[in-house]
Structure 1
C-alpha cells in the first residue's frame, strides 16, 4: 500500500483528472506489481492511464491501460471501493492507498475484498439489473439457466486460487470469475458455457449461472465476469494422471512395465466426454458464431499463414539457442531443422487437399489441467481459449481434432516430465527412459483416440473419412508441439526435448505417408 492519501468522490470520478493522475503516477505502479492478475510485471511500463469508468451502486469499475516500451498496450479491470476505518478487515494485498470520502477516513481498496461489493454483484445478477451510465452505456447483469436461488441474499468469500483472474464463491454453490485483462469483445468462455448450458444436454461443464457485461454504444460488448455452478471435485486430471504415473514409475523402477486397467478406464471416460462436448458444439444452431462451417479457402489461408509464421519464428529461436541445448535435444532439434522442406510441403497441403469435414467452435486450450475429476466423472472447465491469441482468433472455428491434439500432447508432457524429472530415474540411461515413455504414451494415445472417434460413427460431418482424420490430427499435433517449443526454449530449456520429440514423431509419420 502506498502512503499517499487520496480524497475521492464517486460522482464525477470519470472526469477527475487530478485523482486519475495520482492513481497513474503514485498508486497504481507499486500496487499492480504485486497483483497476480497483472501480466506485465516483467515488462517495462511506459505509461499507465485511466481509460474508462463504469458506475455500480457505491462502487466503481475502473479500467486502466498499461502501455509498454514496445508501444503495445493492455487494458485491465480494477473494481474500486472505499472502506471506512474500522468497518471491515481488508488484507494488505487489497489496499491501494489511504483515502477520504465524505469527511470519512479509510482506504481505497480492490472491491473484490469488500463483502458489500460481492453482495451487490450477486444481488444484481439475481435481479438481472441494467445500470445506465452517464454516457448511456449499460452495465448488464444476466441470470443463466443454472441460477436457482430464490433470495437475493447469500454469503460469499474469496477462494485461495492463484490465477490471472479473480474468483468469488457465493453460498458454496456459485463460482464467479471476474476477468482482469479485458478485450473489446464478449469473452468466448461466456459464449461457450452459456450456449452449451442453454441449448444442449451436455452437463460435464460448470453450468452457466450468469454474467456481467459492459455494453457500449456502437462498440462490441466487453465481458467483466461469468458465473457458473461450483463443481465439487477431487483434483484436476493433470494431478490425477500424475498419480497414475507414480504407480507406473514405481513399477518401472522395479523392472516392470505396468499400467493399471483403471487408468485406461479414465482415459476412455475422458475420450467420451471430449467427444460429447464436440457433438454438443456441433449440434448448436441458431447463431452464426456456433454454426458448423466447411474448410473454405479463407480459413485454409489463415491456417497456412499462421503455421508458416509460427514455424519461422521457432526455427529462428532454435537456431539462436542451439548450443545451449543438451546432446539429446540437439539431435532432435537437428532432425527438426533438417525436415524443414518436408514440413513446409506438409503444411502447403492444407491449401489444396480435398477436405469435406466440417469445423466448429472448440475448447481451444484443451489439456489435462482443464479437466476436473469428481467422485465418478469428469468436468471440462476454462473455455477462454488460447491465452496468447486475440479474442477474435479464439472464436475461429476449427476441426475438433485441434482439441484432441492438445490433449494428446498433454499426455506426452505428463509421462515425459515424470520419467525425466524424477529422482528415482535420475541414474537411468536416457534411451531406457525414452523407450518406457514412448510405450506408455502410445498406449494412452491410441486408447484416447480410438475411444474418441468411436463416439461419432463413420462417416460423420466432422470427420468424413480416416484420411482426413489422419492429416488434420498430424497437422494440429505438429502445430501444437512447435508452439510448445517456444515456451520451453525461453523458460525451461531442460524440457525442450519434450516438444522436440513430439515434432520428430510427426515428421516420421509424414515420411511414412510420403512413402
Structure 2
C-alpha cells in the first residue's frame, strides 16, 4: 500500500515526539540491524562527497552506536548511526612504526519508511531485504523536512537520548516552525538551514574529542568576539573507547543569510575589473581580532629550538612526499627546501616563535562579508584529513595568514587573464589590516611566513594533482615564485 506524500517543509512537528530518555537500539538487535544495512551501505557510502576513503574498498562495517531518534515502528522512523568503515590501509611510510590508524567513523542519519514518496526518491539509499527493517526503504534523513524538523526539536529541548546528548546555550532561543532545507556545495560535512535563521552543521567523518569548530567559537563567544557566529546548540555521541573524549556530532549557529562568501565576492571583483584592497584590509583586521581573542581565551606557548626544527622537518618531509607523487615539483625542490632550511636556522638565531590556537584552514571561502562591509570568520574545523589532536595544537598565527595569502593568489590565477598585481595589492592590504589590529605586520617575520606559504603551496600541488589536474598550474606558479625568491 502506498504512503501519503511527504509533508511540506512547513508541516509542524508531529505531536508524538519520543521522549528524550528513549533508549538506544538494544545490543542484541544491533548486529542484526547492521548486517541488514551493510549491503546498502557498501554501495551508498563510498559515493558520498564526505567519504574520505575513496579508491579503497570497504571490507566491513562495525557499529559504534545506534539510536532511534524517531521510533522505527512508525513511518517515518529516524535512525542515528555511528559506524566504522574498515578499509585496507595504504602502505605506511618507510621506517614508520606503531599500530595502523583506526577505521574511519562516520555519522549517518537514516530515514526509514515502508514506502518512499516520490518527493524523496532522490534520497533513497535502498530497500532492506532482511533483518529488523526487512521490507522498509532507507534514505538520507536530512532530505526529509519532517525528520529534519525533528532534529531541530531535539536541539531545542536539550538532554540525553540513548548514547547521544543534546546541549543548548541557556540564553539561546531556538524557535519552532522553521522550514528546513539542505545546503549544498559542502564536501566534508552536511548542513541544514532552518528558515534562514539557523544553520546546523552535521559532522560526517568523526574524530574523538572536542571538534575545534565547536570549541573555538565557544571560546571566542566568551571573549565577546563578534567576528564568529556564536554556537546556539550542539550534540555529541558517546565514545565507547574513551568516555572522556566524546564525538562532536553537530553544531547549530546563526545563519548569516545576507552575507557574501569571500571567494565569490573576490571573483566578482576580478571579473568586473574592480579593486579588492579595502575588502582585503578589513579582512586582515577581522583575522587579527580573532587571533587576539583566541590568545586571550586559550593557552599560548613559545616554540623553542627543538619544536621549530621539528616543524621544519615536517614541512621538508611533506615536500619529499609530494615530489614523489608529482614529478613536476622535482626541479623546484631545492629552492623550496631553502624556505624550510631558513626556518630551521631561525630557531637557533632568533627568539622563540609564539604559538596559539588558530583557525587552521583559513581562506576566502571561510569568510563572509555582510552588507556593512564587516567580515565574519566561519568553519574552525581545520583540515579534515588531520586528526583532532593535530588540529587542536597551538601554531604560529602566520599559518592562517599564509593560507589567506595563497587564497588571494588562487583567486587572481582563476580569473582570465591572470592579474598578478591584483593579488599583490590584496596581500599587502591584508597584512596592513592585520598589523593595524595586532600591532605586528606578518611580513616582519619573512622566514616564518615564507615557510608556511611554501608548505601550503606544496599541499595545494599534491591536492590538485590528485583531485583537480586542470587546476595544477595555479599552485605550480606559486611554487616557481617561492623556489626562486
TM-score greater than 0.5 by the shorter chain: yes
TM-score by length of 2: 0.82
Write out per-residue CA displacement over residues 74-104 of structure 1, whole angstroms, 9 at most, x where no aligned residue.
2111123433447895333244325799999
1:183 is the counterpart of 2:207: yes
Q: Which structure shows the bigger proportion of residues in helix conformation?
A: 1
2:379 pairs with 382, 385, 388, which one? 382
Write out per-residue CA displacement over residues 237-282 of structure 1, whole angstroms, 9 at most, x where no aligned residue.
111111111123xxxxxxxxxx54xx22111111111111111111
Supply the distance in 1 between the matched residues of 2:326 and 2:46 (Cα, whole angstroms): 31
**How many residue pairs get matched?**
442
Write out per-residue CA displacement over residues 194-226 of structure 1, whole angstroms, 9 at most, x where no aligned residue.
2212x1222122221111011346431111101
In structure 2, the partner of 1:66 is: 85
Query: Cα gap change, 1:172/1:145 in structure 2, threshold over 3 Å: closer, same or farther?
Result: farther
Write out per-residue CA displacement over residues 296-331 of structure 1, whole angstroms, 9 at most, x where no aligned residue.
356324413321210111222333xx4xxxxxxx8x
In structure 2, the partner of 1:429 is: none
1:193 is the counterpart of 2:190: no
In structure 1, the partner of 2:408 is: 411
Matches within 5 A, 1:133-172: 133=162, 138-144=163-169, 147-149=172-174, 153-163=176-186, 164-172=188-196
Query: Cα gap change, 1:82/1:101 in structure 2, threshold over 3 Å: closer, same or farther?
Result: farther
1:486 is the counterpart of 2:462: yes
2:34 pairs with 20, 30, 47, which one? 20
Query: Cα gap change, 1:145/1:452 in structure 2, threshold over 3 Å: closer, same or farther?
Result: farther
Write out per-residue CA displacement over residues 1-22 of structure 1, whole angstroms, 9 at most, x where no aligned residue.
xxxxxxxx97426644333223
Supply the distance in 2 between the matched residues of 1:466 and 1:405 (Cα, whole angstroms): 10
Deviation of residue 185 (structure 1)? 1.8
Write out per-residue CA displacement over residues 175-208 of structure 1, whole angstroms, 9 at most, x where no aligned residue.
11111111122211010112212x1222122221
Supply the distance in 2 between the matched residues of 1:171 and 1:500 (Cα, whole angstroms): 43
Write out per-residue CA displacement over residues 105-164 of structure 1, whole angstroms, 9 at most, x where no aligned residue.
743333324445334332332222123x4xxxx421111267223x5x333312241323
In structure 2, the partner of 1:358 is: 354
Supply the distance in 2 between the matched residues of 1:103 and 1:499 (Cα, whole angstroms): 49
Supply the distance in 2 between the matched residues of 1:229 and 1:144 (Cα, whole angstroms): 13
SS of residue in 2 equivalent to 1:75:
strand
SS of residue in 2 equivalent to 1:190:
helix
Supply the distance in 2 between the matched residues of 1:123 and 1:340 (Cα, whole angstroms): 52
Supply the distance in 1 between the matched residues of 2:116 and 2:473 (Cα, whole angstroms): 56
Contact 1:61 1:80 in 2 (8 A): yes
1:122 is the counterpart of 2:139: no
1:273 pairs with 280, 286, 290, which one? 286
Supply the distance in 2 between the matched residues of 1:412 and 1:22 (Cα, whole angstroms): 49
Supply the distance in 1 between the matched residues of 2:336 and 2:47 (Cα, whole angstroms): 43
SS of residue in 1 equivalent to 2:120:
coil
In structure 2, the partner of 1:246 is: 271
* Greater Rg over alpha carbons, structure: 1
Contact 1:82 1:101 in 2 (8 A): no
SS of residue in 2 equivalent to 1:471:
helix
In structure 1, the partner of 2:123 is: 93
Provide structure 2 residue ranges, at least 5 long, that are not aligned to the other structure: 1-22, 72-77, 91-100
Provide structure 1 residue ranges, at least 5 long, that are not aligned to the other structure: 1-8, 249-258, 285-289, 323-329, 420-424, 426-432, 510-515
SS of residue in 2 equivalent to 1:339:
helix
Deviation of residue 41 (structure 1)? 4.0
TM-score by length of 1: 0.77
Supply the distance in 2 between the matched residues of 1:416 and 1:65 (Cα, whole angstroms): 40
SS of residue in 2 equivalent to 1:159:
strand
Supply the distance in 1 between the matched residues of 2:220 and 2:479 (Cα, whole angstroms): 34
SS of residue in 2 equivalent to 1:79:
strand
Contact 1:63 1:75 in 2 (8 A): yes
Contact 2:301 2:355 in 1 (8 A): yes
